[in-house]
Structure formats: C-alpha cells, structure tokens
A and B are shown apart, each in its own frame.
Chain A
Amino acid sequence: MRPGLARGAIELRQSLTGPDLVGHLLWPVVTLVALALLQHRDLGAGQSLGAYALPGVVGMFVALGMLLDVQYLSADREDGTVLRARAVPGGITGYLVGKLVTVSGTVGLYVGVVVAGGALLIDGVDLRSVDWVTFTWVLLLGLVATQSLGLVLGALVRSPRSAGYVSLPVVGLIAISGIFVPLTALAAGWQAVAQVFPVYWLGLGMRAAFLPDAAAVAELGGSWRPLETAAVLGAWALVGVVLAPVVLRRMARKESGSSVAARRDRALQRVG
C-alpha cells in the first residue's frame, strides 16, 4: 500500500511537469473556453447554457478518468511496466494503488481547473452557493465507480490501439448523458440508456451541488433524485470494486517476459 502511494506521487509529479501538463490542461481549457463562448445561449426555464452545463462538465471529467485508466493500463502492459510490478513482492497491488492515485490526482486537476475557471469565466456560477457536501460525496463515489470500471476495461483491452476504440462508446455515452443538453430533450429510449450508466448520474449529482434547488424542475421527475444517484453510482462502484481485483489478477497472471517481447516485436513492426 505505502509503496503504491509513493508510486502514485512520483508518477503524478512526472505527468504534471513538462510537456505532459500541456496535454492534460488542453481538454479542460478548451471545454471551458467553448462553454464561456456559448454560455448565454438560453435553454428555457430561465437557464443559460453556461451555468447549466458547467456542473455536468465536472461530472464528465470525473468519468473521463476511466479512459485514462484504459490508456495507462494498456500502455503499461505493452512496455513491460506491469511485468516489472509482477516480479516484485506485492508489486501488482502497489502498481494499481499507484495508478489510482495518479489518475485520481489528474482528475482532481481537471475538476479544479473547470471549477475555478468556471467561477471566473461563466456568469451565474457562484462557488459560495455550491453545496460542497453533495459535491464531495458525488465526486468520491463517482471516482470509485469510474476508476474501478476503468481498470476493468483497461485489463480487458489487448493493446493501446484497442484502447482507442474503447473511447468511442464512452464519448457517445457522454453525448446522450445530459451533460450539454438536458436529458429531457432526448427521446425516451436514449433517456433509459443514459440512466443505466454512471455518467448521467455524475452530471446530475454535480448539478444538484452547483445549481439552485429551483433548477431541479428541468430534470427528469423535476427532482435532483439524490437517493437514485447514490444508488446507481454505488451499484457501479460495487460492481467495479468486486470485479476489478478478479480481472486484474487474471491480466497480471498472463504477463511474462515472452508475452512482453512478443508485443514489443509487434509494436516495432507497426513503427517500422
């Protein structure tokens, strides 16, 4: 456990210094700028797009941490990082704890940038009126749910290339999860699909934290539905926490010097 935390701290420092930081900041900043430019578009019911969408964007970036897990895991398997961890006592646990720290820290950075930038750039976002208790539990539960699922997905994909394919359905999911457009504007079928997955509930929970209670009328059922939010996010967290160790152990068992060598040869062939 302790080596894992140290590992996460070292990796986080590496990924937040130098050119990598630019890559990490790009998406939150671009999203913020787009929101700031479109913020005054009227959504009806006295709501502007900027203030409505900002909390959803916070939820979205929490969910995107999932894709970071998938990317890291597939890359680390290809280059032998996972095998190295396997050769060390307690190494796989340390590796996974480290990964959770790294990704959660990165997600924390995204959320910080979006929240702070939103308060500065977007009218109607007032940090003094945010319900920080709701914000905190939605964030934590959402992190556990999405991180554990991300690790499961990351263990299942075969190569960094397939990691790219995983991002497509996730982006599609975000599109139908009421982040930018209220779910009530979508067909009932899409609404049902969106409500199965954690992205919608992360957005909803964050809106409950950021928006005044009167804004709940725009939601399905005219309520923030905190119990349902906790139930769905909690269920995904449970599935992830139960499933992740099994899938990850299976993944680690398959790593050996020759499997890494085979992947290296394939990767070098792609380049050459």
Chain B
Amino acid sequence: MVVEVEGLRMRYGSRDVLDDVSFGMERGRVVALLGPNGAGKTTTIEILEGFRRRSAGRVAVLGVDPAHGTEQWRARVGIVLQSWRDHGRWRVREILAHLGSYYAPYSTPDTARPWDVDDLMAAVGLTDQADQEVRRLSGGQRRRLDVAVGAVGRPEVLFLDEPTAGFDPEARREFHDLVRRLVRDHGTTVLLTTHDLAEAETLADRILVLDGGRIVADGTAADLAHRLARDDEVRWSVGGERFVRSTPHSTAFARDLFAVHGEDLADLEIRRASLEDAYLALVRQAESGQRVAS
C-alpha cells in the first residue's frame, strides 16, 4: 500500500471537516477524490502531503506518517502546486535544474534522482521554452511546468490538488495525457482531487466521492455507475400515441416492445442514466442528510 488512511478526522473548532475517512491506495494506481467544493478534498490531500496536521486517525504515505515525514520521505513524494507568480524571473531550465538538485542526495540504484532536465522538459513538452522566463509562459505551459516541478525528483507518489481548475478543454486534455504518461512509463502512484466528474472518469482507476467530510462512494467509474444507476428511460410511440417508461432493464423491455407491437412500434429512444446524473443525485442525497452506505 502506498497510501493508507484509517479513521481520519479533522476538526476546526466544533466542526468536523473530515469525519472518519478511510481508504487505501495500491502502487501504480490513479485515484481521484471527487466531490463538491467544501467536501474536504483539499484538507485530505494536504494532510497526506504533510502540510497540515490532522485531529485524529491513522495516516501513512509510503509507510510513513506525513506529520513526521523526514526529508528522506519528502524526496519520494511529489506535489504539484498551482503556481501563481513565484519564481517569475527564473528560466524554465534553471528552475527545474535548481529544484532537481535538492533530490540528488536521495538518488538510489533503482531510481536515479533527479530526472534529467532535458528529458523532463521533453516529457512535459516544454523543450522549446527551456530558456524562457517563467512569467512569460502561457497558462497551459505554466501548469505543465508545475507538473514537471512535482515530478523532477521522480516521486513514487504524486499529489495533485484540483490540477485543471480554470483550464480550457484543450489544455485539460493535454494535461490528462501527461498524467497518464507519467503513470504508464514510470509506475507513479497518483492521487488527485477534482470537482469534475468527467476528469475523475477519464483519469482515475478508482473514484472516491467525498461529501460533507465523509466518503459516500468508492469504486471504479463503472462500479459507481452501476451502483448508483437509476432506471433508464424508454420512449416510444404506437399509432401516433407517445409513451414513456422508466426501467432498470431497458434492453429486455425494448425486446418485449418489438415482440408486442412489431411494425407498429416507432420513435424508440432509450436514455441511459448517466454517471453524472448519478453523481449529482448522490451529492444531493448526501447533503440532505441521507447517507448512502458505500
């Protein structure tokens, strides 16, 4: 297990921001923490990053409690931060070489640290910007630089908090490709937070839905769709008259329709319950206080 969380609780004053959160992550997996704003995603990931102290519960990242992580531990963990205007006057090559140099003492025969700067820039597609000042990069290029900075120490586990907030669709797709390449080529374990269901669906092997400080669902996108699925909607008409029916077995239902009405059946339409509908329903339900057992 790369990440183990058990009974994690975070309390501010009398309010529980996280309430009994438990999950584990295996090596080489991509897990998304999905949930609306204020669900506790950022708090969870910052506790795992070692940036925030928890109120109670057991947490281990690479077998170490992040609250007491040594520099040795820090060298094995990558964090993709949202840059704003820090290091604006540094050149891309300069900042990557500099931040990479901190990892050199932690190089092992298995994992050469840091990542070679030219290879890294090629991997994130910043080779042409190598000698450009950071403040002159476009928004998308800057985020690629953020990923490069997070990955420069060849981390075993990579944390990304809302990595694509404010992206246009093109930049978002590029970013997803980049994360997938990191996982495929280097076996990196990735935990990301997002409030975008589509992002969780495309990137993650597993989705944890967090709402109101609790995990309300846990599984693959298909699992969630299956578990949360509501009935499909079937519409048809016979002799000009229109009908609508909700059913969990839409295919069988359609077969019956053909058998009964034959040539008279027209305007047949089946709408599958989308994962999006299911997710929104789940969040609505959780917020109205009815917890879904997961």
- Take A256-B52, A257-B81, A257-B161 as given contacts and tell me if A79 and B101 are in contact as well, using a CB distance cutoff of 8 Å: no
A2 to B74, CA, bound (A): 18
Chain B, residues 133-176, CB within 8 Å of chain A (1/0): the string is: 00000000000000001100100000001000000000000000
Closest B residue to A264 by beta carbon equals B84
Of residues 54 to 106 in B, which have CB atoms within 8 Å of A's CB atoms? 71-72, 74-75, 79, 81-87, 89-90, 94, 98-99, 101-103, 105-106
Does chain B have a CB within 8 A of A258? yes
CB distance from A220 to the nearest CB of B (A): 45
Whether B90 and A10, one on each chain, are in contact in the complex, defined by CB atoms closer than 8 angstroms, is yes
- Take A89-B71, A89-B106, A257-B42 as given contacts and tell me if A84 and B99 are in contact as well, using a CB distance cutoff of 8 Å: yes
CB distance from A247 to the nearest CB of B (A): 18
Whether A6 and B86, one on each chain, are in contact in the complex, defined by CB atoms closer than 8 angstroms, is no
A256 to B79, CA, bound (A): 11
Whether A10 and B83, one on each chain, are in contact in the complex, defined by CB atoms closer than 8 angstroms, is no
Does chain B have a CB within 8 A of A90? yes
Does chain A have a CB within 8 A of B243? no
Whether A6 and B84, one on each chain, are in contact in the complex, defined by CB atoms closer than 8 angstroms, is no
Does chain A have a CB within 8 A of B16? no
CB distance from A245 to the nearest CB of B (A): 15
Whether A88 and B102, one on each chain, are in contact in the complex, defined by CB atoms closer than 8 angstroms, is yes
Of residues 161 to 213 in A, which have CB atoms within 8 Å of B's CB atoms? none
- Take A89-B71, A258-B42 as given contacts and tell me if A84 and B149 are in contact as well, using a CB distance cutoff of 8 Å: yes
- Residues in A with CB closer than 8 Å to B149 are 84
Does chain A have a CB within 8 A of B51? yes
A35 to B157, CA, bound (A): 60
Of residues 1 to 51 in A, which have CB atoms within 8 Å of B's CB atoms? 2-3, 6-7, 10, 14
- Residues in B with CB closer than 8 Å to A91 are 99, 102
Does chain B have a CB within 8 A of A219? no
- Residues in B with CB closer than 8 Å to A131 are none
CB distance from B131 to the nearest CB of A (A): 14
**Among candidates B43, B85, B98, B153, residue contacting A89 with C-beta atoms closer than 8 Å:** B153
A94 to B105, CA, bound (A): 14
Does chain A have a CB within 8 A of B199? no
Whether A94 and B102, one on each chain, are in contact in the complex, defined by CB atoms closer than 8 angstroms, is yes
Whether A257 and B87, one on each chain, are in contact in the complex, defined by CB atoms closer than 8 angstroms, is no
CB distance from B144 to the nearest CB of A (A): 16
A266 to B153, CA, bound (A): 32
CB distance from A71 to the nearest CB of B (A): 15
Whether A80 and B89, one on each chain, are in contact in the complex, defined by CB atoms closer than 8 angstroms, is no
- Residues in B with CB closer than 8 Å to A3 are 98, 101-102
Does chain B have a CB within 8 A of A87? yes
Chain B, residues 30-43, CB within 8 Å of chain A (1/0): the string is: 00000000000011
Chain B, residues 116-130, CB within 8 Å of chain A (1/0): the string is: 000000000000000
- Residues in B with CB closer than 8 Å to A84 are 81, 83, 86-87, 99, 149
Most chain A Cβ neighbours within 10 Å, of B83, B85, B86, B94: B86
Does chain B have a CB within 8 A of A83? yes
- Take A87-B81, A88-B153 as given contacts and tell me if A256 and B101 are in contact as well, using a CB distance cutoff of 8 Å: no
A87 to B83, CA, bound (A): 13
Of residues 70 to 126 in A, which have CB atoms within 8 Å of B's CB atoms? 76, 79-81, 83-84, 86-91, 94
Does chain B have a CB within 8 A of A251? no
Whether B46 and A256, one on each chain, are in contact in the complex, defined by CB atoms closer than 8 angstroms, is yes
Chain A, residues 254-272, CB within 8 Å of chain B (1/0): the string is: 0111101100100000000
CB distance from A268 to the nearest CB of B (A): 9
- Take A80-B86, A81-B86 as given contacts and tell me if A89 and B46 are in contact as well, using a CB distance cutoff of 8 Å: no
CB distance from A104 to the nearest CB of B (A): 19
A261 to B98, CA, bound (A): 24
- Residues in A with CB closer than 8 Å to B72 are 89
Whether A89 and B51, one on each chain, are in contact in the complex, defined by CB atoms closer than 8 angstroms, is no
Closest A residue to B72 by beta carbon equals A89
Most chain B Cβ neighbours within 10 Å, of A90, A257, A261: A257
Whether A7 and B98, one on each chain, are in contact in the complex, defined by CB atoms closer than 8 angstroms, is yes
A87 to B81, CA, bound (A): 9
Whether B102 and A258, one on each chain, are in contact in the complex, defined by CB atoms closer than 8 angstroms, is no
CB distance from B274 to the nearest CB of A (A): 31
**Among candidates B42, B79, B90, residue contacting A87 with C-beta atoms closer than 8 Å:** B79
- Take A3-B98, A10-B98, A257-B42 as given contacts and tell me if A89 and B103 are in contact as well, using a CB distance cutoff of 8 Å: yes
Closest B residue to A7 by beta carbon equals B98
CB distance from B81 to the nearest CB of A (A): 6
**Among candidates B46, B83, B102, residue contacting A80 with C-beta atoms closer than 8 Å:** B83
- Take A90-B102, A256-B46, A257-B46 as given contacts and tell me if A76 and B86 are in contact as well, using a CB distance cutoff of 8 Å: yes
- Residues in A with CB closer than 8 Å to B102 are 3, 88-91, 94
Given contacts A88-B99, A90-B71, 12 further A-B contacts (CB under 8 A): A6-B101, A7-B98, A10-B90, A14-B89, A76-B86, A80-B81, A86-B51, A87-B49, A89-B72, A256-B46, A257-B42, A264-B84
